[in-house]
Amino acid sequence: MTQTWNTSEPVTPEVRTYAAVTGVVLLLLMFFGVLLRMTQGQWLGIGPDLFYQIMTAHGIGMVAIVTLGGMAVIWHFMGRYLALHRAAAIANLVLFLVGVVMVLASIFLGGYAAAWTMLYPLSSHSLQVWSDLAASGYLVGVLLVGVGMLVFYLEIARAIATQYEGGFKAALGWKRLRTGNKEDAPPPPIIAGAVCTIGNLVGTLFGAVILVMMLIHVFLPQFAFSALLAKNFIFLFGHVVINVAIYMAVVAVYEILPRYTGRPWGVYPAFILAWNATLLMVLTVYPHHLLMDFAMPDWMAFWGQIISYASALPVFAVTLVGTLANVHRSGMRWDLASGLLVLSIFGWSAGIVPAVLDGTIAINQVMHNTQWVPGHFHTYLLLGVVPMLLAFMTWIGNQGRAGQFGAVRGGTFWLYAVAGLGFTMAFLFAGSAGVPRRYAVHLAQWVGYDRVASVFALLVLLAAALIILPAVVRIATRGRTVAAAAAR
Ligand code: HEM
Ligand SMILES: [Cu+2]
C-alpha cells in the first residue's frame, strides 16, 4: 500500500475546540464520579437525592462527551480525504452545549435523577421528586444533543456519497473485496468513519423517536405505550452510541500509531470484513441489556447472547493484531501519546472479557445489576476509549511531534494506568461479591470496596488532570497544525 503522510496538516479550530471541551468536561465528570464513590464509601455525606442526580449527570454526560471526543477524531482524520462543511461541526457543538446546559439545569435545579437510561415510564412518574418541567427539560436536552449528532453524521454521509470515489460501497471496502485490488482499499478513517456514521444515524433516530414519545407522555399521560418497546428503543440507542464512541476513537490508534512507527496501517480483507460485521452486530446486539426481561421473545435473548460473543471480537481482533504488527520491532519512540494508545488497546481488551461474561444469560442472571456491570464498562471506557482521546489531545497539542517520556510524564502515565486498573477491579470484586450497582447507601460490609475504589478514583482524577490540562493549554495556544512526519 502506498501512502504518504503530509509533513504538516492543519488542525481546524472546530477540532481543537471539540478536543478542548472534551478534556475539560471529562475532568468535571470524573470529579462527579469520585463524589459518587466516596459517598458509597461513607466518606462524604451526600444524600440519596443528590447522589442520583450526580449519577445521572455522570452517566449521560460521559456518554455524550466521549461521543464528542470521538467526533473530533473522525472529523480530523476523515477531513484529510473529504471536504467537510465546518458549519455542521459548529451546529453540532452549539446543539451539544445547549442540550448539556438544559440537562444539567434539569438535574441540578429541577432535581431530575432517573439515571441516564431514563427508563419509561420513569421520566414522568417521579412521585414529586422532580417536576414535569425537569423531566421535559432533560428529554429535550438529550434530544438536542441527538439532533446535533444527526447534523454531524448527515454531513459526513453527504461527503462520502458525493466526494468519495465509489461512495459508501467503496468507503465500506466492498469495492476492494470485489476487485481484489489493493488500491481500492479505503483508508482506515474512511471505513471506520463510514461504519460509525451509519451506526449512529440509525441509533440516534431510534433515540429521537423514543425521546419524543416520552416527552409527549409527560404532558399527555393518556398517551401511553409498551414499556418493553420503550426499553428496546432506549437500549438500541444507548448500546449503539456508546459503542460507536469507541469505534470513532479507535481511529486515533489507526492514524497516530503509524506516524510513530513509520508503517502505514494496513487495510486488508479481514479488516474490511471485521468492520462490516461490526456494523451489523452493533445494531442488533442490544438485547443483551434485556436478558432479565422475561416478556422478551426467547430468540431475541439468544441472539443477544450469541452476538455478544461475536460482536466483541472482529474489530478488536484486527485492531490488536494490527497494533502488534505495527509496533513490533518498529523502533517506535515511546511518549505519552503513543503510550496511551497502546494502553487503550490493553484496556479495551481487558474490558471485553467481563463484558462477554455478563452477556451470557446464565451469568447475567446472577451479575445483572451488580457492580460487575460498571466494572466492565469502566474498564473499556476509562482504560480504553478515554486513553484514545487523551492520546489524540496530547498529540495535537504536541503538534504531532513525539514528546519526551521523562520521569513526570512517565509517572503520570503509569499512575493513570495503575490507578485506573485498581478502580475498575474494585468494581469487579464488589460485583462478584454481590454488591448492587446504583445504590447510594451501602451496607457496612461493602464499604471496604468503596474506599479502596475511592482512593484509586482520586488518583485517576489526578493523573487525568496532569494529562488533560497541559494538553488543553497547548491545544489552545499552539496546536494549529500537526507535523506528521516529525514523529520519527
Ligand atoms: C475517575 C473516573 C470515574 C469514576 C470515579 C467513576 C465513578 C462511577 C460511579 C461510582 C458510578 C456508579 C456505580 C454504581 O452503579 O454503583 C459510575 C457510573 C457510571 N459511569 Fe463512571 N466513573 C469514572 C469514569 C467514567 C468514564 C470515563 C465513563 C465513560 C466514558 C463513565 C461512565 C459511567 C456510566 C455510563 C455510569 C452508569 C450510570 C448509571 O448507572 O446510570 N465513568 N461511575
Ligand atoms: Cu450493549
In a domain, 2, yes or no: no
Cα 176 from Cα 275, distance rounded (Å): 13
In a domain, 17, yes or no: yes
Does the beta carbon of 457 sit less than 6 angstroms from any atom of ligand 1?
yes
Q: What pLDDT, on a 0 to 100 scale, did the predictor assign at position 445?
A: 97
Residues facing residue 9 across a β-bridge: 482
Does the beta carbon of 36 sit less than 6 angstroms from any atom of ligand 1?
yes
Cα 274 from Cα 345, distance rounded (Å): 16
Does the beta carbon of 437 sit less than 6 angstroms from any atom of ligand 1?
yes
- CB of 359 within 8 A of CB of 394? no
Q: Using one digit for the tens of pLDDT, what is the confidence trace for 234-292?
A: 999 999 999 999 999 999 999 999 999 999 999 999 999 999 999 999 999 898 888 88
Q: Please, which residues have CB within 8 angstroms of residue 408's CB and are 6 or more apart in sequence?
A: none
CA of 51 to the centre of ligand 1 (A): 12
Q: What is the CATH number of the domain that holds 381?
A: 1.20.210.10
Please state, rounded to an integer, the average pLDDT across all residues of the chain.
93
Cα 340 from Cα 361, distance rounded (Å): 34
- CB of 298 within 8 A of CB of 284? no
Instruction: Report residue 43 CA to chain centroid gap.
Output: 29
SS3 180: coil
Give, in order, the Cα–Cα distances in Å from 57 to each of 23, 108, 141, 183, 390. Answer: 16, 9, 12, 46, 21
Nearest-atom index, ligand 1, CA of 436: 16
Q: How many residues does the chain have?
A: 488
In a domain, 237, yes or no: yes
Give, in order, the Cα–Cα distances in Å from 298 to each of 230, 239, 286, 307. Answer: 18, 20, 14, 14
Q: Is the pLDDT of residue 1 over 70?
A: no
In a domain, 4, yes or no: no
Q: Is the pLDDT of residue 477 over 70?
A: yes
In a domain, 1, yes or no: no
What's the total number of domains in the chain? 1
Nearest-atom index, ligand 1, CA of 116: 41
Measured by CA distance, the residue closest to atom 33 of ligand 1 is: 59
The domain in which residue 248 lies consists of 9-487
Measured by CA distance, the residue closest to atom 42 of ligand 1 is: 378
Q: What pLDDT, on a 0 to 100 scale, did the predictor assign at position 239?
A: 95
Does the beta carbon of 438 sit less than 6 angstroms from any atom of ligand 1?
yes
Q: Kindly report the pTM of this predicted structure.
A: 0.96
- CB of 437 within 8 A of CB of 369? yes
Residue from 255, 265, 261 nearest 335 by CA: 261
In a domain, 339, yes or no: yes
Q: Is the pLDDT of residue 453 over 60?
A: yes
Query: Which one of the ligands is nearest to 41 CA?
Result: 1
Helix axis angle, 298-327 to 251-261, nearest 10°: 10
Helices (H), 359-446: 361-367, 372-380, 386-397, 407-432
Q: Please, which residues have CB within 8 angstroms of residue 196's CB and are 6 or more apart in sequence?
A: 70, 74, 153, 244, 247, 248
DSSP letters spanning 211-226: HHHHHHHHH-TT----
Does the beta carbon of 283 sit less than 6 angstroms from any atom of ligand 1?
no
**What's the count of helices (H) and strands (E) in the chain, helices before strands?**
17, 2
SS3 9: strand
In a domain, 3, yes or no: no
Query: Which one of the ligands is nearest to 311 CA?
Result: 2
Task: State which of 31, 55, 123, 289 you would mutate to test the pocket of ligand 1, scoring each by most atoms of that ligand within 8 A of its C-beta.
Answer: 55
The residue whose grid cell reads 492520546 is 391
Q: What pLDDT, on a 0 to 100 scale, did the predictor assign at position 3?
A: 42
